[in-house]
Structure 1
Amino acid sequence: MRKPKIIVSKCLNFEKCRYDGQGYNNKVIESLQKYVDIKAVCPEVEIGLSIPRDPIRIETNKEKEEYRLIQHKSNYDYTEQMNKFTKNFISNIEDVDGFILKSKSPSCGIKDVKVYHQGNKCSVHSNANGFFSKEVLEKYNYLPVENEGRLKNYSIRDNFFTKVFTINRMKECNNIVNFHNENLYLLKSYDKEKTKELNEIILSKNINEENNKKYKDIIYNIIRGNRNKRGKLEIIENIFEKYRNRLNYEEIKMFNSLIESYEQKKIPFSALAIAIRIYALRFSDKEVINQTFFNPYPEELINITDSGQGRDL
């Protein structure tokens, strides 16, 4: 059975290889290890830097307006070594479904790396990509790429897990019709219009190599976006309409109150999902019961605690 394949910065749980000889114990990555195949990499160690080491940083030259990777203490320029390693490493990736990279790192950071004027102590800004992550984001812009800090946020973590495991199911499945039927509601919660394009491919009953590739390309396009609260709620409401005529007044009233509570952020989405699944089981609605919309990734990975920033259950 195939597992999602994730590339992770080595200092996150795998080796104490930071510039100061330390590492990080990240709970998200720890919980993932049972369910995914992880390849760990430290670009800075791979280009020959020692552990510990004098830190490197990104510097910019006012005249040339280009970024260089400099060891400030020695003023040694590691740009060429890093670019060479990065291109070679990425060109040899055979299969990958996502990345978790170290935040604020001059090699792995994502839009949070400090940039300095050449030789200066004060940073110019702190929203650059690291040298390694920049190439990853350019080549794999259709895959989920996150840093460990952002994954402390429940909504971001939920989106990352959902994308990674959806990609894995698509790669594992030999029959895109089966994949489509099981993931239909999930895909609709991302993008209804693009899901209609997928429906047309499936309904054509002409699943040749060209259409198979077209289908998968649209999947990648769909999951480049994020599910939002409204999109998920519409799916729940549409399913509920299937059962409305078979429910009594009090049941309908109760479910409507759940929706209202969810919209007011008093309950998590999982409360609605559980309620709708109970109805699906009650009416033996296998089409709904088997939807990955309700469990897009292993239940053991669900943890609604987060950093408290940007939370949207």
Structure 2
Amino acid sequence: MANVFSSKDMSNASDKKIAVGISSCLLGDSVRFDGGHKRFHFAVDELSDYFEYKQACPEMAIGLPTPRPALRLVKSKENNLRLKFSDGRDGDLTNEMVLFSTAYLNGILNLSGYIVCKNSPSCGLERVRVYDPVGNGNKKSGMGLFTEQLIKRMPWLPVEEDGRLSDPHIRENFIIRVFALHELNELKKNSFNRHSLIEFHARYKLLLLAHSQPLYRELGRFVASNNKWESIDSYFDEYRNKFMNLLKQQATRRNHTNVLMHIQGYFKRYLTSNQRQALSKLILEYRQGIQPLLAPLTLIMHYLSEYPDDYLNNQKYFHPYPQSLRLRYGL
């Protein structure tokens, strides 16, 4: 029988790998109701160099075998969602799933992300089929019970499903959030104080601006008020919630353009007229959708190597995750 939930290292992980939860079937384990799996190439073959997976199959964890009758979400007469067998046999697994989820999640609070299985009544993130009490009509309007408990327990955690991660913008946003939360978690564990948190926030300024300027200004005011909080731990928890909610907002072409133009200003006194025009042209073409984000960024990085700037060199905007993941090539 496959391992139901455990730490799974895909390639001799070091301690520096990021702890990320994942549905066991996405790693290729044959734990699904039909005895199969849904091996997710991006997670197994591309992210395993960076992530140490904490895997779980909630359905097997509550004692179900594989293969097994499929499960479904059913809306009760009281308008609550219940987890039941799709073949109509007696049995309500809702309480067992909630109890397992609560106990399991309490033991893995150090995670920096979670990848769940699309459409699953236990793990799906969105648009999971919800059936009426009779079991006939259904709407794609639910969330898997395990994932629902996951988000309630850790609202700051980046959570995505395999289907949505095929979208390059959603994929990059998820990876940015995972690496940012990992750095924040490491800060809390190793060298956390008010000053170190302010420095952390400063490193993320340009990246945060690319995601939401209004929320960045709001978070900036919160950072400035840190001395009003008696408990530094309570302050950290609130900062984490606000910081991760900001990064969850999808970065836009307009916001990236504003950030690029802001960066351009740092090089005005160094660049020739032709160089300034070349950079301005690339930024304009990016805004118009002609060039990918990588085009102006590459030229800026070239100028930054020639004219170093301590502030820019420390900005996470340029390297929010390892370049080898190649996530900005099509943005």
TM-score by length of 1: 0.88
Per-residue deviation, residues 89-135 of structure 1 (Å, max 9, x unmatched)? 12232311111100100001112211112343x44201200111111
2:201 is matched with 180
CA–CA distance in 2 between the matches of 1:124 and 1:141? Answer: 28
2:40 is matched with 26
How much does 1:302 deviate? 2.0
Q: 1:59 aligns with which of 74, 79, 86?
A: 74
CA–CA distance in 2 between the matches of 1:79 and 1:196? Answer: 42
2:106 is matched with 91
CA–CA distance in 1 between the matches of 2:202 and 2:184? Answer: 12
2:321 is matched with 297
CA–CA distance in 2 between the matches of 1:208 and 1:68? Answer: 40
Please tell me whether the aligned partners of residues 17 and 52 of structure 2 are also in contact (alpha carbons under 8 angstroms). Answer: yes
How much does 1:210 deviate? 5.9
Larger RCO (CA under 8 A, 6+ residues apart): 1
2:262 is matched with 238
How much does 1:82 deviate? 1.3
1:267 is matched with 291
SS at match of 2:278: helix
Per-residue deviation, residues 138-186 of structure 1 (Å, max 9, x unmatched)? 2222221110110111100110000110111122232334423432322
Residue 128 of structure 1 aligns with an amino acid whose one-letter code is: G
Which range is displaced more, 39-48 or 140-149? 140-149
Q: 1:141 aligns with which of 129, 151, 155?
A: 155
RMSD: 2.5
% identical aligned pairs: 26
How much does 1:197 deviate? 2.5
Aligned pairs for 1:190-201 (under 5 A) are: 190-191=211-212, 192-197=216-221, 200=224
CA–CA distance in 1 between the matches of 2:269 and 2:296? Answer: 19
SS at match of 1:256: helix
1:101 is matched with 116
How much does 1:27 deviate? 1.9
Please tell me whether the aligned partners of residues 2 and 172 of structure 1 are also in contact (alpha carbons under 8 angstroms). Answer: no
Please tell me whether the aligned partners of residues 198 and 218 of structure 1 are also in contact (alpha carbons under 8 angstroms). Answer: no
Please tell me whether the aligned partners of residues 201 and 215 of structure 1 are also in contact (alpha carbons under 8 angstroms). Answer: no
CA–CA distance in 1 between the matches of 2:309 and 2:283? Answer: 21
CA–CA distance in 2 between the matches of 1:278 and 1:10? Answer: 42
Aligned pairs for 1:89-168 (under 5 A) are: 89-120=104-135, 122-168=136-182
Q: 1:209 aligns with which of 208, 227, 232?
A: 232
Please tell me whether the aligned partners of residues 156 and 240 of structure 2 are also in contact (alpha carbons under 8 angstroms). Answer: no
CA–CA distance in 1 between the matches of 2:197 and 2:95? Answer: 43
Please tell me whether the aligned partners of residues 187 and 195 of structure 1 are also in contact (alpha carbons under 8 angstroms). Answer: no
Are 1:17 and 2:31 matched, yes or no?
yes
CA–CA distance in 2 between the matches of 1:23 and 1:280? Answer: 46
How much does 1:304 deviate? 5.4
- Structure 1 gap segments, 5+ residues each: 306-311
1:227 is matched with 251
- Structure 2 gap segments, 5+ residues each: 1-14
SS at match of 1:245: coil
Number of equivalent positions: 304
Q: 1:7 to 1:194 in 2, by over 3 A?
A: same
Q: 2:83 aligns with which of 45, 53, 69?
A: 69
Please tell me whether the aligned partners of residues 177 and 244 of structure 2 are also in contact (alpha carbons under 8 angstroms). Answer: no
How much does 1:277 deviate? 1.3
SS at match of 1:268: coil
Per-residue deviation, residues 245-285 of structure 1 (Å, max 9, x unmatched)? 33222212211221221122121111111111111111122
Residue 205 of structure 2 aligns with an amino acid whose one-letter code is: L
Please tell me whether the aligned partners of residues 3 and 168 of structure 1 are also in contact (alpha carbons under 8 angstroms). Answer: no
